[in-house]
Amino acid sequence: MTGADIIAAAKYLAAGLCMGLGAIGPAIGEGMAASHALDGMARQPEMEASLLRTMIIGQAITESTGIYSLVVAIILIFVA
Amino acid sequence: MSGELGKKLILHLKVGGMDIAFDLVVMAVAVGVTLLLVLLSWWLRRGLPQDPEAPPTRRAALLAAAMELAETQLLGGYPKRLARDLLPLITTIFLYVLFCNWVSILPIPYIASPTQDINVTFGLALMVYAMVHVYGARERGLKRHLKSYLEPYPFLLPMNLIGDFGRTLSHAFRLFGNILGGAILTTIVLELAGKAMRFPMLAPVAFLGGVSLGTLLNAWFGLFVGAIQALVFALLASAYIHISVE
């Protein structure tokens, strides 16, 4: 293996680790947001529309960290 | 792999020693979506009766229902006057991003969503950032708007500035990452199916699996995730402007 091969292998490994580890947090966070929104909807079905909208905004913001790791993985594979 | 993501026709221009690349596909599709929206609004506008007392036509009823829905869903917490003021902007952002995301399900080679190009999403996010300041300065006065950066304590000014910057950055990257991630996933599945087709034993399974899974993923990411992300982009734009006018 030459140096270029090692660098290429390290890039793919780093991208995989980055995406895999970075997806854990947003997944747990979004699941918790959805679970609590469902709790609220079951208790107060008349609040469903407003809860759904707030849940989607909250999940979108929670997702940011996952998107950052996706962007870093894309940069590692295609740009770096 | 990246070659399949609609980066084939790039115009390189040298302007004052700087190499500027124009992605012609993205530009053409973005302009096409704009033209589609203009045509749609022209068609809807033409259907409105001239006389306001006349009974509403079907098109007028559709338009009224759509605007009512947009006003309650996208601009829920606003006072009535501001909601009416912001309705065209936020609805246009929503429809533009929605149609840009939906373009990717068209089975035309080289055609990809413009929103998987960082320049498009960053442009939209910068426009929302500008509107945040325009509406903040207009509704609260320039002095109070600038003073809001010194709250709750003046020494938190760097924090507020970084927060502003990161908010716009994540607003752009959220849409970009979601759409590009979906496109990459669909492309990888199709490429894997294509590689597995070379083995005679696996060919039928790979063909059926690749076609069905590729179609399903394309529909999921194009239609469903595209619609959710368009809604999220417009809702966040509305929420950011709401923070600055309060």
Q: Name the residue ranges covered by the structural domains of chain B.
A: 2-245
Tell me how far apart the alpha carbons of residues B227 and B229 are, in angstroms, rounded to a whole number.
5
Q: How many alpha carbons fall within 13 Å on the CB side of residue B134?
A: 9
- Give the tens place of pLDDT for each residue, A31-77: 999 999 999 999 999 988 888 888 988 888 888 888 889 889 988 98
Higher pLDDT, B9 or B82: B82
Domain of residue A10, residue span:
3-79
pLDDT of residue B6: 46
**Between B126 and B190, residue with greater pLDDT:** B126
Reported as a single tens digit per residue, the pLDDT across A11-20 is 999 999 999 9
Neighbours of B41 (CB within 10 A): 14
Report the alpha-carbon distance of residue B93 to residue B243 in Å, rounded.
18
Helix (H), strand (E) at residue A39:
helix A3-43
Question: What pLDDT sits at residue B221?
Answer: 87
- Interchain CB distance below 8 Å, A64 and B231: no
Q: Check A63 against B174: CB less than 8 A apart.
A: yes
B34-47, pLDDT tens digit by residue? 999 999 989 888 87
Q: What is the pLDDT of residue B3?
A: 46
B97: nearest Cα among B9, B175, B26: B175
Beta-bridge partners for B20: B13
Tell me what percent of the residues of chain B surpass a pLDDT of 70.
96
CB-closest option in B76, B181, B232 to A56: B232
How high does pLDDT run on average in chain A?
90
Which of B76, B177, B231 shows the shortest C-beta gap to A67?
B177
B128 or A61, higher pLDDT: B128
Provide the CATH number for the domain around residue A22.
Answer: 1.20.20.10
Q: Which residues of A touch B (CB under 8 A)?
A: 49-50, 53, 56-57, 60-61, 63-64, 67-68, 70-71, 74, 78
Confidence at B2, pLDDT banded by 50, 70, 90: very low
Query: What's the structural domain count of chain A?
Result: 1
Tell if the CB–CB gap between A50 and B239 is shorter than 8 Å.
no
List helix spans (H) across chain B.
24-46, 58-74, 80-102, 118-140, 142-147, 157-196, 203-219, 226-245
Structure tokens given for B145: 């708007």
Q: How far apart (Å, rounded) are the C-alpha atoms in residues A29 and B171?
A: 18
> What pLDDT is attached to residue B7?
53
Residues of A in contact with B228 (CB under 8 A): 56
Does the interface predicted TM-score (ipTM) exceed 0.90? no
Dihedral, CA of residue B62, residue B63, residue B67 and residue B68, to nearest 10: -40
